[in-house]
Chains A and B, each alone.
Chain A
Amino acid sequence: MLETRSIVRRFGRTLALDRVDFRARPGEIHALIGENGAGKSTLVNILAGRLRADAGEVLLDGARLPAGSAARHPRRARIAAVYQSPMLFERMTWEENLALGGYRAGASPRELDAVAVRARTAAAQAGFALPPPRAIVADCSVAARVRLEIVRALSFDPRVLMLDEPTSLLAPAELEIFLAALRRLRAAGRIVVIVTHKLAEALAVADRITVMRRGRVVAELPAAHASAAELARMMIGALPEELRMPPPAGAETPAAAPALTLERATLARDGRRLLDEISLAVRPGEIVGVAGVDGNGQAELVELLAGIVRLDAGRVTPVPDAAHGAVAVIPQNRDRDGLVLEMTLWENLLLAAPVRARFIRRGLIRGRAAQSFCASLLDRFGIRAAAGPAASAAALSGGNRQRFAVARALAAAPRVIVAHDLCRGLDLAAAARVHRRIRDFAAAGGAVLLISTDLDELLECCGRLFVIARGRLIETAAADRDPARLGLLMAGAGA
């Protein structure tokens, strides 16, 4: 049994874990659920030995684990983890990645072949396949990478396997294979801990569920006795009335002239069509969704609309130009493409050309006016920044950064908002608030293109829904509005 006793951990003045008692038993899949910031990842990191607890202890089968031992001696500690952000060496072959794990081998062809044989056996037991020999990890699909990480974790022959939000990157079809693999690991007598904020998943796969809220364990219960509504209530307290979603805005097309039009937009690189004759029109007042597994052209579509790349054929109206400001883009990777982390919030705000234009007089920035505008924006969007507008973007939590990116897009008063993974890193309540803002924007006559891997989000928010697969865009019919059917389309079956 894996057990923690009264674990306490602080980050500065925040109490991330408050006397946490957690128990997971052998032959059990244990889901650890909670909102962002509830302390799930902190707990996993302490169990995995990457963080030290300020107080409390971790026991495995009754024996106390010295702090940090799981990370220093993963084989001896027998706790292995698969982390939220993939921990693979992208430019190495997958065999080399596994050789660096529990197989402890060098990189000679003979050793790598031996690693591959052992890995394929382990993968077959878990029920999945591995990439072709000597494939570079960077060329592998997201699902293949998750599999590689699991096989590498298993190479340590762990008693405990922890998976921190492993499914956030998987398509529905891949998810099934993955959950089946977890069940097989359970059958082999291992302790499987899965961290997630997706209730359906926890209910589908777990035997027991521990719910965390604000650094505390609020409940531990058998999955068979739990309902999604009850779990949601435990995770977030109560969902405020104003955040409950009105039903989606139907599939009928408003009559106004489109605010954004793509006509046979094509983008090729190295002879491959990343965007293949994409045609799409988004009208004022409409939220149009684009579903798809990452890497099917979404990034290129966003770059195109942000004016970063140019079309090889076709047409976009209005011509994408960030300086013009008709289209505001909320990028998927806000830390890389959205914000300059070293700069203050008000400076980041002024990076949006339409906002900047309001605060420049004779070539000089009116700093004080910009700062007070930024302060009012922080206030309106509930963004918590200790130093206010003068705080550096890096000082914000992930959720607050995302809210800031949304706030800035809205502040630019565009006609169109293009959002890629709008609610990445947001918990349920925060996501609901962001959705609310976007809906209000649409209700006031704005056009929204929502590109996401989260089908629930798309089904909830969007009128018309498209699927992007291998650079092609397919419009879905009303009959397709269901995750399983969309999953098939995303895999390219309907194209």
Chain B
Amino acid sequence: MLEAFAASTVAMATPILLAALGELLVERAGVINIGIEGAMLTGAFAAIAAAHAGGGALAAVAAAVAAAVAINALFALVVVNLAANQVVAGTAIDLLALGVTGVLYQRIFGATGRAFTVAPMPPIALGPLARIPLIGPALFDQSALVYLAFALVPAIAWTLGRGRFGLRLRAAGERPEAADALGLGVYRLRWIALLIAGALSGLGGAYLSLAYANTFVEGITAGRGYVALAVVIVGRWNAWGVAAAALMFGAAMALQFVLQVSAGALPYQLFLALPYLLTVVVLAFVGGQAAAPAALGEPYVRG
């Protein structure tokens, strides 16, 4: 059972981690993207729609990425070029995605409730590593998206901590007017961060529909985008911290299965609520402001 719990933790953490790593880049560049939930949802839907249209797993993932990138491009246009309020624009994106995916889902799949399912993404076992007791199945017998998500952690940690692009991104998030005065191009940096984040949320959404649920239902993301936002704060705007926080929330989600089996007396809704309760409790105790990028969420207009 512990083995299953570990595997489930990693699986549950993956979509959150993908989205949170994208959000990490965006926030370090000074933008807060609440629309992340909508981008994930759009990705999850586009993946299933592409599979329904006869595409293979790769085509489905590509469709998810393209759709979520498009959503983030819209967000970037509104908050970067038009300097709109980021929270309002992000919320609008969430509502837009919820509505559009709901309507399109009914148009394509009908309102009968007969779900369209896909074959789950096959796990790729990494030879003898997958047979290590306890952690083997969790870490080395997962789908390609899981490996990608965790491989991105050191890559993004390096970029943000040591890379030239990451340094410029941080500059844009600390003092955009100073970054612009040095010719760094704040608008361009924020656009790039948002497009990368779009791709990552699309992957996270695709993972949810293709590898986890094997289908699409309205609101399938169930707040995972918001959890990803919390994960960035709990992870102190640092890739390693984000990975640890994503695993913690993954564990809380995996725990609901274990507890539902072992503690039959308690109402199951309690366990379903566990990850969200954890979000509230952890955020209440993590004082985030000291580590947050100084210009986070402030609209910046070039002089």
Contact = CB atoms under 8 A, between A and B. Distances in A.
B163 A92 contact: no
A106 B163 contact: yes
A45 B164 contact: no
Given A99-B167, A107-B163, A107-B166, A71 B175 contact: no
B167 A107 contact: yes
A213 B184 CA distance: 34
A72 interface: yes
A113 interface: no
Interface of A: 45, 48, 50-51, 71-75, 81, 83, 87-92, 96, 99-101, 104-109, 111, 152
B180 A107 contact: no
A194 B92 CA distance: 48
10 contacts: A74-B182, A87-B177, A87-B178, A91-B294, A100-B167, A106-B163, A106-B167, A107-B161, A107-B166, A109-B162
A106 B182 contact: no
Contacts of B162: 106-109, 111
A50 B181 contact: yes
B174 interface: yes
From DSSP, what is the main secondary structure of chain B's interface residues?
A: helix
B135 interface: no
B171 interface: yes
Given A90-B294, A100-B167, A107-B161, A74 B183 contact: yes
Contacts of A105: 164
A50 to B, nearest CB: 5
Contacts of A73: 183
Residue with the highest number of chain B CB atoms closer than 10 Å, among A51, A75, A89 = A89
Contacts of A72: 183, 185
B113 interface: no
Interface string B123-136: 00000000000000
B303 A89 contact: no
A106 B180 contact: no
B178 A107 contact: no
A51 B303 contact: yes
Interface residues of B, number: 23
Residue with the highest number of chain A CB atoms closer than 10 Å, among B164, B180, B182 = B182
A110 to B, nearest CB: 9
Contacts of A83: 181
Nearest to B177: A87
A260 to B, nearest CB: 35
Interface string B83-106: 000000000000000000000000
B142 to A, nearest CB: 31
Given A89-B175, A106-B163, A101 B170 contact: no
A73 B180 CA distance: 10
A459 to B, nearest CB: 35
Given A87-B175, A91-B294, A92-B174, A106 B181 contact: no
Nearest to B170: A92
Given A45-B303, A107-B162, A71 B180 contact: yes
A12 B280 CA distance: 47
B192 interface: no
B236 interface: no
Contact of A50 (B163, B166, B303): B303
B155 to A, nearest CB: 14
A74 B182 CA distance: 7
A88 B163 contact: no
A150 to B, nearest CB: 14
Contact of B181 (A87, A91, A109): A87
B224 interface: no
A87 B168 CA distance: 14
A107 B165 CA distance: 9
A202 B170 CA distance: 37
Contacts of B183: 71-75
B70 to A, nearest CB: 28
Contact of A100 (B161, B163, B182): B182
B164 A106 contact: yes
A71 B163 contact: no
B295 to A, nearest CB: 10
Contacts of B170: 89, 92
A136 to B, nearest CB: 12
Contacts of A74: 182-183
Contact of A107 (B164, B177, B179): B164
B94 to A, nearest CB: 28
Given A88-B178, A89-B178, A105-B164, 17 more contacts: A45-B303, A50-B180, A74-B183, A87-B178, A89-B170, A89-B171, A92-B174, A99-B164, A99-B167, A100-B167, A100-B168, A106-B165, A106-B167, A107-B162, A107-B167, A111-B164, A152-B182
Nearest to A87: B178
Contacts of B182: 74, 100-101, 152
A4 to B, nearest CB: 19
Contacts of B177: 87
A105 B182 CA distance: 13
Interface in B136-195: 161-168, 170-171, 174-175, 177-185
Going nearest first, the 8 A-B pairs with the smallest beta carbon separation are: A106-B164, A87-B178, A108-B162, A107-B167, A74-B183, A89-B174, A107-B162, A50-B303
Contacts of B174: 89-92
Contacts of B163: 106-108
A303 B7 CA distance: 55
A48 B177 CA distance: 13
A88 B165 CA distance: 18
Contacts of B303: 45, 50-51
B285 to A, nearest CB: 22
Contacts of A92: 170-171, 174
B164 A104 contact: yes
A152 B175 CA distance: 16
A89 B171 CA distance: 7
A335 B38 CA distance: 37
